[in-house]
Amino acid sequence: MYCAVELEHTYEHEDGKLYERSRSGMHVVIVENEALKEKMEDLLYTEMWKPYGLGREMRQALAMSGEEVSFACLEGEDVVGAMVLIVNGTTAEIRFAAVASHVRKKGIGRRLWEEIVTYITKHTKISTVELHSRNIAFDFWSSLGFKEESPWVDHKLYEPHGIRFKIMKYNFSTQP
C-alpha cells in the first residue's frame, strides 16, 4: 500500500502485506479482510448512527450499487477513521466517512481522502467524486476541494437532530 502523506518507513502488517507508517504511527489501508471490515463497521455505527438513536441497519438502508472500496486509518490495531468509496464507471461517491471522536482534528480525514485520491489517480478512470455532506462536515469537505452542488436538504431521520445535507463534488479535471 502507498500513502500520500509524509512517511517514515515501510513495515509488514500481520496480514503479510507491506504498508507504510506515518510519523504519527497511523496508517491507511484498503479494507480487504472480514476482521478489519467488522472494526470499520463498528466505527461507522458508533460515530454516524448510534449518537442519533439509529441502528446498525442504517448501513444497509443507505447502501447503493457499485463497487465498494473501503479505506481505514489504523492506529495500532484500532480503526480510528474510515471512508467508503462507491465506484460506478468514471464517477464515485464517498458514501460513508467517519473519524473516531477521540482523535478528531488530527488530520485523519484528510489522510484518508489523500489515499482515496492516490487510489483513484493510479487505479481508475474516475473524474468526479460526489458526497452528501452533513452541515457539521461542510467546512472539512470544502477544505479538500469539494464544491457545493445543491441547496441544503433535510432527511427525516436527521432533521430532529439539526443535521442537514448538501451534495458536494470533487472534479479531478479542475483540481491543481
Rg of the chain's alpha carbons, rounded to an integer?
Answer: 16
- Whole-angstrom Cα distance, residue 34 to residue 31? 8
Q: Average pLDDT in the 5-10 region?
A: 32
Q: What is the pLDDT of residues 74-89, one digit of tens each?
A: 999 899 999 999 999 9
Q: Is 161 exposed, middle or buried (0-12, 13-18, 19+ CB in 10 A)?
A: middle
Model pLDDT, residue 26: 84
Contact 108, 73 (CB under 8 A): yes
Q: Do the Cβ atoms of 161 and 52 come closer than 8 Å?
A: yes
Evaluate if residue 23 carries a pLDDT over 60. Answer: no
Q: Cβ–Cβ contacts within 10 Å for residue 98, how many?
A: 24
Residue 3 reports pLDDT greater than 50: no
Quick check: 98 pLDDT over 60? yes
Instruction: List the grid coordinates of 142.
Output: 470544502
pLDDT at position 157: 86
pTM: 0.84
Residue 82's Cβ-count burial label (10 Å; 0-12, 13-18, 19+) is buried
For residue 108, give the C-alpha cell. 485523519
Measured between alpha carbons, how far is 66 from 167 in angstroms, rounded to an integer?
19
Question: 61: pLDDT confidence band, cut at 50, 70 and 90?
Answer: confident
Task: Please give the Cα distance from 26 to 22 (Å, whole number).
Answer: 6
pLDDT over 90 (residue 8): no
Whether the per-residue pLDDT at 21 is higher than 90: the answer is no
pLDDT mean across residues, the chain? 86
pLDDT over 50 (residue 12): no
173 pLDDT higher than 90: no
